[in-house]
Amino acid sequence: MREKNKFKLSAAYFFLAPALITIFIFFLLPVIAALLMSFTDFDIYSLGNIGYAQFVGLKNYIDIFNDPLFWTSLKNTFYFVIVGGPLSILVSLAAALLINSKLIQFKSFFRIVYFIPVVTTLVAVSVLWRFIYHPKFGILNYLLGFIGIHGIDWLGNPQFAMPAIILMAVWKNFGYNMIIFIAGLQNIPEDLYEAASLEGASAWNQFKNITLPMLAPTTLFVGIITMIGYFQLFAEPYIMTQGGPLNSTLSIVLYMYQEGFRWWNMGYSAALAFILFFIILIVSLIQLKIQKESYI
């Protein structure tokens, strides 16, 4: 028995090795290196000779807190997450409820159609929507014209640029969470609804007292993955607005990319990346805590 176990053990390590070694070298080490880097003034000169990089303590972090562009990018990113996240989740839930309705046939057809924007390449979709948002020739303004709204310069006006990006993100992403919600809805035992119907509970009351609480774990999961994804906003402003107009769509990741890979201020950029990481970590923990407190 002992002998066999030993044999198995070496096999387990053999199977684990490729994954663990790659994760260690190409994920964990870079994370640690990025943390160290964020305490240095690593820049374009250090790129040629790493010896030029000096430890500067918390200087990058202090500079960031005094950098108006950082606060702009933080504000924009939170705008996208706080408005876009819940909006996406609401649309996903509504679509899931519709498709899951007993009155509906062709469920898989609708599911596939709603899912098509999810699988298509974000860069291509952003290119496409840049033309859809065209103030003169775009189909959005053409359609809005029928209800009397005219000439919105979606991507050229600082007030409309972020809402435009949010609208596209909701369109692109709602299908994904919809699938997860459908799975969650199908896991709710049917007899709960039957019992409630017998007691004469209205559809709204059933939704409020059965569906929503039973969906709570799904909603938490959906909330966290959506939030993590939305904090990483990058391709949409990169393609559609380059962060403009007037920096109104500059996101943290876009700012990090520009600092790190356009100006090669890699120390500064690494500090930005870590601030993003800590924000994501803290917001996830808050979501977990709220969920625990409200459903125990």
Among 152, 155, 166, 280, binds another protein (CB under 8 A): 280
CB of 121 to another protein, least distance (A): 5
**Helix or strand (DSSP H, E) at 78:** helix 68-79
Q: x/- binding map, residues 231-270, to another protein, per CB under 8 A?
A: xx-xx--xx-------------x--xx--xx----x--xx
Given a contact cutoff of 8 angstroms between Cβ atoms, the answer to whether 85 and 223 are in contact is yes
- Taking residues 167 to 196 in sequence order and writing x for each that binds another protein by CB under 8 A, - otherwise, the string is ----x---xx--xx-xxx--x---------
* Residue 29 makes contact with another protein by CB under 8 A: yes
Distances in Å between the Cα of 67 and the Cα atoms of 59, 73, 74, 126, 272 are 12, 10, 11, 29, 11
Tokens, residue 188: 């709710």
Determine which residue in the list 44, 62, 82, 113 makes contact with another protein, applying CB under 8 A: 113
Here the tokens at position 254 are 């876009």
Of 139 and 246, which has the nearer Cβ to another protein? 139
Q: Which is nearer to another protein, 72 or 141 (CB)?
A: 141
Alpha-carbon span 164 to 135, nearest angstrom: 12
Tell me if residue 173 falls in helix, strand or coil. helix
Q: How far, in Å, CA of 20 to CA of 239, rounded?
A: 35
At what angle are helices 216-231 and 85-100 packed, to 10 degrees? 140
Pick the binder of another protein from 44, 62, 82, 124 (CB under 8 A). Answer: 124
Asked if 98 is part of the footprint of another protein (rule: CB under 8 A), the reply reads: yes
Report the residue from 56, 69, 122, 214 that binds another protein according to the rule CB under 8 A.
122
